[in-house]
Amino acid sequence: MRNLSTVNGRLQDVFLEVIKGYDCSILCGFRNEEDQDEAFHTGRSQKKWPDGRHNKAPSNAVDVAPWPIDWNNKKRFYHFAGYVKGVADKMGIKLRWGGDWDSDNDLDDQSLFDLVHFELI
């Protein structure tokens, strides 16, 4: 809940609704300069401070994984993202997901797969 409290209220609303039907863990909301630089240098982000969607307070991006987390089960991340997108759509909130950056439903045309990343459009 601490991580969720650092994101935009609309993202909070989506994930408070998601958790009712799909257990998940909020990994990251807002990132300060030190955290963003670390994410960039370790390859978890392609953006340097302050250009990431996580770098505004409150954050317009959040990293969330289905619980329990199994990093090797990619299908579960895709299933979870579909659930999240469905909940957000029902609420009238537009999200971009890091497994389909251009939101064209072609999951094979991505150069960066960030399966835990959701951001407001």
Query: What is residue 49's predicted lDDT score, i.e. its pLDDT?
Result: 96
pLDDT digits (tens, 9 = 90+) for 7-25: 999 999 999 999 999 999 9
pLDDT digits (tens, 9 = 90+) for 52-106: 999 999 999 999 999 999 999 999 999 999 999 999 999 999 999 999 999 999 9
Given a cut of 90, whether residue 121 has pLDDT beyond it is yes
Domains in the chain, CATH or no CATH each: 4-120 (3.30.1380.10)
C-beta neighbour count of 1 within 10 angstroms: 8
For the purposes of burial, counting CB atoms within 10 Å of the CB of 114, is it exposed (0-12), middle (13-18) or buried (19 or more)?
middle
Query: What is residue 112's predicted lDDT score, i.e. its pLDDT?
Result: 87
Query: What is residue 98's predicted lDDT score, i.e. its pLDDT?
Result: 97
Tokens of 96: 């971009």
Going by C-alpha positions, the residue among 76, 68, 87, 83 that lies closest to residue 115 is 76
Distances (CA, A) of 92 to 6, 49, 74, 107: 21, 30, 27, 23
